[in-house]
């Protein structure tokens, strides 16, 4: 089975960070969130994948190259104009083959793709949607499924009092190639704007309704794995802190120097209280306090007597002497 990583979006809800970097490159534990996805694919036996690119594509290609560093053959499809969540997949249908996985490049998860594939192959449907129970249904599209898991309908961000389900659509899918038979004809997508490409198509607005209308079976695969779509700044911060606390299984590229403190740079005389991750090339002034949970990105500079707590510093951020950062995200300015 091959995989497609959706990496073309603009990440508008993560601005201003995404003015200078594509959303799949926002860091979780000092690695791009998409890198955690790529490594997860490799751990579950995937050897070939394709990613669609649009916003700042050179940043993604420059980091991942051909994927060989991560044990995965990775190719790219550039979208001059965004083609939508489904249209971009249709563009690479020949590469994907008879059965394939689609996963968002900005999703932080440790989902068991092997178990999902077993479920996908066990039923007669054209699609399997990974779903997860949530309390705040007004933040997600929810899936309505029968006792056998067959999907019967959807609700878009319903108020909890009106929600018919608490199963959130994680936008992680497995499909059989016959799903392309239910795509909208060129130029007829219900989700497209006037200036969108004719090939634009959306899973939620176009394809899934067509499956329901034609009584085509497709199924919900409920997961209990960690999942965070890094949809906004609060979720970016929470994803980092959850990963730091071990709530999601990801690789950390720094040694543990004392219990709960992982550092790839010297600590000097800094007072550090776990859990904390400090990246490479970090310069710490004298008299600094870092109270976890906290993540300090590669190349950061912290001035004398500065204090960081419950916060994330993205790469190359500088804090002046005597600065205090509590409960937030700090990043360097860009010219974008």
- Cα separation, 251 vs 177, in Å, equals 33
Residue (of 133, 43, 109, 111) closest to 243 by Cα position: 109
pLDDT at position 166 over 70: yes
Residue (of 310, 112, 302) closest to 222 by Cα position: 112
C-alpha dist (Å) from residue 36 to 32, 124, 127, 139: 7, 31, 24, 24
Mean pLDDT of 308-313: 93
Tell me which CATH code domain 2-243 carries: 3.90.550.10
- Cα separation, 54 vs 115, in Å, equals 31
Q: Give pLDDT tens digits for 184-230.
A: 988 888 888 877 788 899 998 999 999 999 999 999 999 999 999 88
Residue (of 173, 167, 162) closest to 134 by Cα position: 167
Residue 76 exposure: Cα atoms within 13 Å on the Cβ side: 19
Residue 290 main-chain phi, psi, to 5 deg: -125, 115
> Can you give the length of the chain in residues?
336
Could you check whether the bond before residue 303 is cis, i.e. omega within 30 degrees of 0?
Answer: no
pLDDT at position 315 over 80: yes
Q: Give pLDDT tens digits for 273-284.
A: 999 999 999 999
Residue (of 62, 89, 65) closest to 77 by Cα position: 89
Contact (Cβ atoms closer than 8 angstroms) between residue 306 and residue 323? yes
Q: Give pLDDT tens digits for 129-154.
A: 999 998 888 888 899 999 899 999 99
């Amino acid at each position: 089975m091959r995989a497609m990583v959706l990496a073309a979006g603009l990440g508008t809800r993560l601005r201003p960070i995404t003015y200078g970097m594509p959303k799949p490159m926002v860091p979780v534990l000092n690695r791009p969130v998409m890198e955690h996805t790529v490594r997860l694919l490799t751990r579950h036996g995937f050897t070939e994948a394709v990613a669609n690119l649009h916003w700042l594509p050179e940043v993604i290609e420059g980091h991942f190259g051909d994927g060989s560093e991560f044990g995965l053959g990775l190719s790219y499809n550039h979208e001059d104009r965004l083609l939508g969540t489904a249209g971009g997949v249709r563009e690479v249908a020949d590469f994907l083959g008879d059965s394939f996985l689609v996963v968002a490049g900005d999703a932080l998860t440790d989902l068991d793709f092997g178990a999902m594939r077993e479920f996908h192959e066990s039923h007669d449907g054209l699609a399997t949607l990974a779903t997860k129970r949530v309390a705040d249904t007004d933040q997600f599209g929810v899936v309505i499924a029968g006792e056998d898991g067959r999907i019967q309908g959807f609700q878009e961000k319903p108020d909890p009092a009106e929600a018919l389900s608490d199963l959130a659509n994680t936008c992680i899918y497995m499909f059989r190639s016959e799903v392309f038979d239910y795509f909208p004809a060129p130029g007829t997508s219900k989700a497209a704007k006037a200036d969108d490409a004719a090939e634009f198509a959306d899973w939620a607005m176009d394809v899934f309704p067509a499956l329901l209308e034609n009584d085509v079976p497709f199924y919900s695969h409920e997961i209990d794995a960690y999942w965070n779509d890094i949809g906004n700044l609060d979720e970016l911060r929470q994803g980092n802190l959850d990963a730091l606390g071990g709530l999601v299984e990801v690789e950390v590229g720094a040694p543990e120097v004392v219990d709960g403190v992982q550092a790839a740079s010297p600590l000097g005389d800094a007072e550090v209280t776990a859990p904390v991750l400090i990246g490479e090339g970090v310069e710490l002034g004298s008299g600094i306090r870092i109270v976890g949970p906290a993540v300090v990105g590669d190349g950061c500079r912290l001035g004398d007597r500065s204090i960081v707590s419950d916060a994330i510093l993205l790469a190359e951020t500088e804090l002046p002497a005597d600065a205090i950062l509590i409960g937030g995200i700090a990043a360097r300015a860009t010219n974008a």
